[in-house]
Structure 1
């Protein structure tokens, strides 16, 4: 494994849109970059990518393949593997992969994303990305004018229902014992013709591999074409605990993420994060843009380090200078 013998400028953990975007940008900046990807991007079950200018409807797999090809064209390296841990050694970062191999880099970028922990409801996982959805901006146009149910999971359920109402006149908020409406919220929902159903949801109703409704605890059925849910979005960056970097709880719902500044820099010097790893609501284009922004910040940081090293060598009267 040749990558074990090289000191990379940057190692990117996660090869989704954010990681590949950053990898290509860094390679174009003539940086040596390694992208380590374990697969399992959260949108792989979706039929297409939406909201990505000029790539509307492209399959997630096709977009990733195109990104990997671009990375290779500019000299970047991609390997398949899961990063189990990270540590500092002599000012560098050493990553250990699940196959026992290691790689070393001057800087780290975390784009490992999140895992969507779906509601514990039979059939939800099998239909995830099809007619069980989460993001209205990802799928709203495709489900326009259909019967949409919103499975409440907390106080944000009312706003979610009102948002889905933009795409369909037939929206039902399923309280599922998770939320009690205030008088003002009930008034808002009624004004927008959003139906409200009490009682717990016990199962999905599926016919001919299509969602047709949900069953309630009392045995009644609410007819639906689409069910919107609110998964807990859990960080996949636990490998950074060895660096003292812990994911933090979300403020707006269940889940965790990495905290960063505007450039993507975490509280751990030399480590940046981008995409869903830090912004759980980021769509594909937003995640890719965040990867690009972090890449520029990382390159700028390396430029300063290269310059400091060159100055030290010059002061010492050494003619050799760093390669870049």
Structure 2
């Protein structure tokens, strides 16, 4: 059974950045990735300094090549179980392989749970959006419908109104819109349609053209904004006895700035620990975790040597 200093679960921006930080410090690192990134439906990545508008697939390919250059190893596989502790080490098992590691980084990301509205999934990532910083510029000045489905919907309306003066709030889930937030929408000059959505008209390319409303009318739009419920891909953390935290956006693993979680030896970086983190922030979190783990392992090794010297003396 091959032993690694660090096994990183997830080969997105956070996982790759962590692997590069560790690889550059000559740590033995394995990245295990299933190849199902959250942004797979996105054609472009934004707010990536020096790579604005790059394809997410191309960005990952560049990071993969950089990691390989520093000796990082990669395996495409699904992890079935992780067992162990920081004291005895961790054992990672897939259907065909097993490895041991001194530390584990969870960079497993998150998944978006959408309201069950016909056509919404087909438009997701193309003309059905959630983040003004990731997609807002591309729909500037368009006819935008904000679907009122959660406490975050009014916040989305606030931000997208900066990008277009043709924003309408469709009050799909009435109990989620407080009187205070309705006043905010009025102050912004955003029309509120008090009707749920029964479906989206979407073409084969994922472009929405209209919403069908429960009140019997159709509403023409060019983009739809919806707050997904974000769920951390945290089965490994839960298996090890960890618990998830929750905020209005969804669930996540609580982690310190260093990436350290409530389970010694287990670190988390990227969307699994920070729901709203964009690519740059996820990569920064991965680098931080990698750097901290390297320092921790170095101190652990020197303390062990000091202990051996004391015994010999």
For residue 207 of structure 1, report the CA deviation from its aligned partner.
Answer: 4.9
> What is the CA distance between 1:185 and its match in structure 2?
2.8
Give deviations 1:38-76, integer Å, cap 9, x for gaps.
Answer: 111111111101000001111011111111111110001
Q: 2:55 aligns with which of 45, 59, 79?
A: 59
**Does the alignment pair 1:240 with 2:237?**
yes
TM-score normalised by L of structure 2: 0.95
2:284 matched to 1:304? no
Greater alpha carbon shift after TM alignment, 284-293 vs 256-265: 256-265
Most deviating of 46-55 and 121-130: 121-130
The Cα offsets for residues 221-268 of structure 1, whole Å up to 9 and x where unpaired, read as 1111001111111111112333211323x2223x21111122111110
Equivalenced residue count is 311
Summarize deviations over 1:11-62 as a string: whole Å, max 9, x none.
Answer: 1011100000000110001111111001111111111010000011110111
Give the match for residue 216 of structure 2: 219
Find the partner of 1:116 among 112, 115, 119. 112
Asked whether the 8 Å contact 2:174–2:194 carries over to 1, the reply is no
Q: Report the secondary structure of 1:122's partner residue.
A: coil
1:188 counterpart = 2:204: no
Q: Per-residue CA shift, 1:247-303, capped at 9, x if unaligned?
A: 23x2223x2111112211111001110100100110011100000011111111111
Change in Cα spacing, 1:188 to 1:241, as seen in structure 2 (3 Å) is: closer
Alignment of structure 1 residues 1-324 onto 2, 5 Å:
5-88=1-84, 91-97=88-94, 99-179=95-175, 181-207=177-203, 209=205, 210-248=207-245, 250-253=246-249, 255-317=250-312
* Cα RMSD after superposing both structures: 1.6
Using a 3 Å threshold, how does the CA distance of structure 1 residues 121 and 181 change in structure 2: closer, same or farther? closer
Q: Matches of 1:198 and 1:53 in 2, distance apart?
A: 41
- How many angstroms apart in 1 are the aligned matches of 2:138 and 2:217? 28
The answer (yes or no) to whether the contact 2:255–2:273 under 8 Å persists in 1 is yes
Q: Is residue 162–residue 194 contact of structure 1 (8 Å, CA) maintained in 2?
A: no
SS at match of 2:137: coil
Q: Deviations over 1:122-141 (max 9, x none)?
A: 12112211001111100111
Task: Verify the 8 A CA contact 1:34 1:78 in the aligned structure 2.
Answer: yes
CA–CA distance in structure 1, aligned partners of residues 103 and 203 of structure 2: 51
Quick one: structure 1 residues 242 and 190, their matched pair in 2 at CA, closer, same or farther if it must change by over 3 Å?
Answer: closer
User: Aligned to 1:299, what secondary structure does the other structure show?
Assistant: helix
CA contact (8 A) 2:114 2:228 kept: yes
Contact 1:172 / 1:196 at 8 angstroms: preserved in 2?
yes
Residues 75-127 of structure 1: CA deviation (Å, up to 9, x unaligned): 01011011121101771111112x23111100011000111111111121122
What runs of 5+ residues in structure 2 fail to find an aligned partner?
none
Q: Which runs of 5+ in 1 are unaligned?
A: 319-324
Q: Residues 146-183 of structure 1, C-alpha deviation per residue, up to 9 Å, x if partnerless?
A: 11111112222212111110111111111112446444
Contact 1:235 1:277 in 2 (8 A): yes
TM-score, normalised to structure 1's length?
A: 0.92
* Contact 1:164/1:171, CA 8 A, preserved across alignment: yes
- Counterpart CA distance in 2 for 1:134 and 1:181 is 18
